[in-house]
Amino acid sequence: MKAVRVHEFGDADTMRYEDVAEPTAGPGQIVIKVEAIGVNPVDTYIRAGVHLIRPELPFTPGSDAAGVVLAVGNGVSSFKAGDRVYAAGSLGDAWGDCYAEQLVRRAEQFRLLPDNVSFAQGAALGIPYGTAYRALIQRGAAKAGETLLVHGASGAVGTAALQIAAGNGIAAIGTAGSERGLALIREHGAAHVLDHTKAGYLDTVAALTGGKGPDIILEMLANVNLARDMEIAAKYGRIVVIGNRGPVEINPREAMMKDLDIIGIALPNTPPDDMATIHAALGKGLANGSLKPVIGKELPLAEAIESHHAVMRPGAYGKIVLIP
């Protein structure tokens, strides 16, 4: 079968599209025919060799995929050949191997994909929706009636967060850096939208939240925004750091004066029970239509190199997926 392989850490063009052996299902495992693969920013950090996860070379990247069960190993009763599934393990205990025509993992690292959800949408669930739910509901403890700022709402995690917020009665402000990104986030639940490329774009946040500031901020680029987030957050507010690409200088006094919580999250740290709760909630949201992953771009698997450039470019629009 065809797979994308990284033979040395480095730029996107270190990835090769090549022939590898088909996987087989060992005890407790299933093999799926991959129909769509989610491209996440973390795939690029791991490929470049700048992430804590440094796999042995050569390796096949990718954490998120959806497809159809081809074979089940001994002891698997939860799935049968032909089931539509998505990978829901995500990094901690199930990293890699998704940029390929077939994928083998332990059965409990997959979930059934409802019939009303496409394979491309299924490939957008594991990391983006898992992270958004973990950040907003579990770590951020957001409640109905609170106000939320999704700082970086136009990408895969941001659009997921807006939809989860809307489904839980949480009013959201979203930011994006392009016209189509702003239109997208309005469509997916942001009551107010702000352009994070414009000077002074956060000046209206106080007025938009009744003078109080957002109760919760989900932050996609903390090294740029954390200091300002602390200034605009509500008293007793929570800032959940999801994305960060470097150091930042802050004034801890802002946290002290407002009893702010600054919360970090890394999806792989999610305990198994919490992960099960996340995917049960996502399953309900997919079934009732409140969660609808946005697929902004589909590329053939052979164009994985371009997908890594695209996921790091400004102008995010939902999810980028690869199709084998």
Which residues of the chain form contacts with ligand NAP (CB under 6 A)? 40-42, 127-128, 131, 151-158, 175-178, 181, 196, 220-221, 224-225, 242-243, 265-267, 311, 314-316
Our CB check for ligand NAP shows the closer of 72 and 224 to be 224
Supply the minimum distance, in Å, between the C-beta of residue 244 and ligand NAP.
7
Q: How many CB atoms lie within 10 A of CB 179?
A: 10
| E strand or H helix that includes residue 3 | strand 2-6
Location of structure tokens 């052979």: 302
Closest separation between CB of residue 173 and ligand NAP, Å?
Answer: 12
DSSP string, 70-125: EEE-TT--S--TT-EEEE---SSS--S--SBSEEEEEGGGEEEPPTTS-HHHHTTI
Closest approach, Cβ 44 to ligand NAP, in A, equals 8
Q: Which is nearer to ligand NAP, 67 or 243 (CB)?
A: 243
* Phi and psi at residue 132, to the nearest 5°: -60, -45
284: helix, strand or coil: helix
Q: Work out how close the CB of 163 gets to ligand NAP at its nearest, in angstroms, rounded to a whole number.
A: 13
Q: Looking at this protein, which amino acid is placed at residue 1?
A: M
Residue listed under structure tokens 């083998």: 104
Structure tokens at 282: 């996502």
Closest separation between CB of residue 220 and ligand NAP, Å? 4
SS3 249: coil
Nearer to ligand NAP among residue 21 and residue 52 (C-beta): 52
In the complex, residue closest to ligand NAP by CB = 155
- 70 vs 220 by CB, closer to ligand NAP: 220
- The residue among 8 and 195 lying less far from ligand NAP, judged by its C-beta, is 195
Pick the closer one to ligand NAP by CB: 44 or 102.
44
Question: Which class for 211: exposed (0-12), middle (13-18), buried (19 or more C-beta within 10 A)?
Answer: exposed
The whole-angstrom separation of Cα 106 and Cα 58 is 21
Q: Shortest approach of ligand NAP to residue 268 CB, angstroms? A: 7
